[in-house]
Amino acid sequence: MGSQYGLKFAVHLVTNHFGKIVAKVCETLFRKGPLSLGEIIRCTELTPEQVKNSLLVLVQHNCVQAYVPADQFRDEEESTVTVEYLALFDNVIHRLRFPKFLEIAKRQLDDECEKVLDGLLRDGRLTLKQMVERAVQGKENPGAIEAVVRGSFHKLLKAHYVERCPAPEPVVSTLIKAEPAPRKRGSKMAKKFEAPETIEQRVMEAALPGEAIRFAVIEYTGGNADREANSDDTIMVNVGDNSGGIANEGSILWRANFEEFIRHLRHKLLIENERKRLDDGAATILSAILDATKNVEKKVKIEKSVPLSLDSIFTEVTKNEYGRTMTIDRVRASLVQLGCPQRNLDDSYSIDLKNIVEMARNEEVESIVLKRFGGDAYRIFRLLSKSNCFLETDKIAELAIVDKKEAPRLLYKLWKDNYLHMEKLVVTAAKQSRFMLWKVNKPVLWEYVLDEMYHAALNLSLRLAFEQEKDEDLLHVSRDKLTPTDKSGEVNSVQKRYLRLRDVLFLMGSSLMKLDDALMLFHDF
């Protein structure tokens, strides 16, 4: 679930897209967690019809997932099944980045795929039949258009940018399992700490279609069906006759697979960051590794790349024009620079992707510190960030070459704004001495910065709306009067306002998209 301003920003997005009533239902679910229909009606004080319609809209657009808590089945006398509704914070925020998803489809596939995806994003979920109907409406050559739509759909499916919609009301156990008793202390076999699964994760896991059918066009019926796999894992199932297939086209719902788009954007960030830090060669190698293994990544936020042998890496690299100029020694040297100094036990190589993401996060936070607090504070912050341990005030001043009288003031400012963690140490020897110790607590800081970013995104959106409202009258002015046509270059006051508004909207829109990259860096990557 999101942070304080994360939730506010999510509610703002829902309000903009679906109106205040739907937003009220969504906000209630965010604040109170999963609720049944009756509970939502009581909390929102809306009519049952308003709540039902709102839930239908939210489910249609993948912002809410319904499920049945398994605990209610413990009581055998219970005859009614209560469905609960869970608001999906991530999916709501993804609505901000639909233009990015469309751009990916356009660049990686083609314009027609972009159009099909656009329909899915606008309508939330569609059957293949609905996609075709949408495209042919009012057009002259429906047959040809239908073929294009089908072809584009299959391309999107093959790339995993489209997936089958989840189960409508899966049964999910909401009990938190007790942790097994720990083994003896210090044991090398001690289990690595993993945060318990959230209810959102459990529900989504239960709702997700199995891998066999998630990207399959036709329902897998087993038994007499002949199964043949395409070159990748898009499965086409022949069921003898096509009647089942055509019927399914009108019943199987499809939606955009946000996970794959986020994976694509994560890979793009990793590659571009290494290109800036190292060189084109390193970026080419990382790109080759990630391309080759993206279909076997178990989740988006993998810490290390899927292991590959040097030969496999080299084969992938040489598929690229630039990669063909590289020798195997060059590839090996770049792997070291990328953060993979030695092979795994099975002779494979794995890049530390988590480290690249951390470096990007550090850079983003450091740029805030530099702009907000100045160069001396920037050096102090970077020193503490790199040290990853407590340092005493005078030691910090000495290592960062900051005036010893200035250092305490800067440290206090950073601490007051939650960028540093501070502890006091009292040492009693010949006389009592007090020391202030400082540290950057990255997990806590990153959550705080993320919340500030959601706050900033909300502010940008509100200000954008305000600027548009201010010049709302320009919407009613005909376009030819808005654009300067006078050869002397002089503009009248209406045209000035229009040009200003155009520049303002462009600046704020592009700033919001850039800020969204940072939101993904801290939340999704």
Question: Any contact of residue 271 with another protein (CB under 8 A)?
Answer: no
Position among 90, 219, 249, 364 found at the interface with another protein (CB under 8 A): 364
Shortest distance in whole angstroms from residue 62 CB to another protein: 26
Question: Any contact of residue 402 with another protein (CB under 8 A)?
Answer: yes
Task: Give 295's DSSP letter.
Answer: G
Question: Any contact of residue 515 with another protein (CB under 8 A)?
Answer: yes
432-439 and 391-392: which strand pairing? antiparallel
- CA distance linking residue 338 with residue 351, whole number of Å: 7
Shortest distance in whole angstroms from residue 263 CB to another protein: 21
Reading the block at residue 123, the tokens are: 């309508």
Q: Which 382-401 residues touch another protein, going by CB under 8 A?
A: 382-383, 398-401
Question: Any contact of residue 372 with another protein (CB under 8 A)?
Answer: yes
Question: Any contact of residue 462 with another protein (CB under 8 A)?
Answer: yes
Position among 379, 391, 436, 440 found at the interface with another protein (CB under 8 A): 379
Shortest distance in whole angstroms from residue 396 CB to another protein: 11
Q: At what angle do helices 493-523 and 98-108 cross, to 10 degrees?
A: 80
- CA distance linking residue 480 with residue 435, whole number of Å: 70
C-beta of 205 vs 279, nearer to another protein: 279
Position among 192, 405, 476, 487 found at the interface with another protein (CB under 8 A): 405
C-beta of 41 vs 407, nearer to another protein: 407
Position among 456, 474, 482, 491 found at the interface with another protein (CB under 8 A): 456
User: What value, to the nearest 5°, has the Cα angle with vertex 436 and ends 379 and 448?
Assistant: 60
C-beta of 136 vs 310, nearer to another protein: 310
Q: Which helix (H) or strand (E) holds 246?
A: helix 243-249
Question: Any contact of residue 514 with another protein (CB under 8 A)?
Answer: yes
- CA distance linking residue 461 with residue 149, whole number of Å: 34
- Judge residue 20's burial from the number of C-beta atoms within 10 Å of its C-beta, 0-12 exposed, 13-18 middle, 19 or more buried: exposed
Question: Any contact of residue 503 with another protein (CB under 8 A)?
Answer: yes
C-beta of 256 vs 453, nearer to another protein: 453
Question: Any contact of residue 403 with another protein (CB under 8 A)?
Answer: yes
Q: Where are the beta strands (DSSP E) in 199-247?
A: 226-229, 235-238
C-beta of 129 vs 395, nearer to another protein: 395
Shortest distance in whole angstroms from residue 341 CB to another protein: 10
Shortest distance in whole angstroms from residue 394 CB to another protein: 9
- Which amino acid is residue 365, in one-letter code? V
Q: How far is CA 318 from CA 89, 308, 397, in A?
A: 41, 15, 50
Q: Which 4-43 residues touch another protein, going by CB under 8 A?
A: 8
Q: Which helix (H) or strand (E) holds 432?
A: strand 432-439
Token pair 């993206």 in the structure block, residue? 294
421-428 and 308-309: which strand pairing? unpaired
C-beta of 176 vs 462, nearer to another protein: 462
Token pair 């356009």 in the structure block, residue? 106
Q: Give me the residues paired with residue 477 across strands.
A: none
- CA distance linking residue 365 with residue 270, whole number of Å: 17
- CA distance linking residue 41 with residue 240, whole number of Å: 48
Position among 190, 212, 246, 336 found at the interface with another protein (CB under 8 A): 336
Shortest distance in whole angstroms from residue 188 CB to another protein: 29
Question: Any contact of residue 458 with another protein (CB under 8 A)?
Answer: yes
- CA distance linking residue 197 with residue 172, whole number of Å: 13
Is residue 88 a contact partner of residue 64, using CB atoms and an 8 Å limit? yes
162-164 and 126-127: which strand pairing? unpaired
Position among 232, 311, 358, 363 found at the interface with another protein (CB under 8 A): 363
The window from 28-36, 228-236, 286-294, 453-461 that contacts another protein (CB under 8 A) reads 453-461
C-beta of 86 vs 400, nearer to another protein: 400
Shortest distance in whole angstroms from residue 380 CB to another protein: 8
Shortest distance in whole angstroms from residue 500 CB to another protein: 6
The window from 108-116, 350-358, 438-446, 458-466 that contacts another protein (CB under 8 A) reads 458-466
Q: How far is CA 157 from CA 263, 290, 302, 480, in A?
A: 15, 19, 23, 43
Q: For the chain, give me the number of helices (H) and strands (E)?
A: 23, 14
Q: Give me the residues paired with residue 423 across strands.
A: 437
DSSP helix/strand/coil, 480: helix
Is residue 377 a contact partner of residue 407, using CB atoms and an 8 Å limit? no
Binding mask 294-333 for another protein (x = CB under 8 A): -----------------------------------xx--x
DSSP helix/strand/coil, 93: helix
Shortest distance in whole angstroms from residue 466 CB to another protein: 5
Position among 460, 495, 498, 525 found at the interface with another protein (CB under 8 A): 460
C-beta of 119 vs 484, nearer to another protein: 484
Which residues of this protein are in contact with another protein, per CB under 8 A? 8, 329-330, 333, 336-337, 363-364, 366-368, 370-372, 375, 378-379, 382-383, 398-405, 449, 452-453, 455-456, 458-460, 462-463, 466-467, 500, 503-504, 507-508, 511, 514-515, 517-518
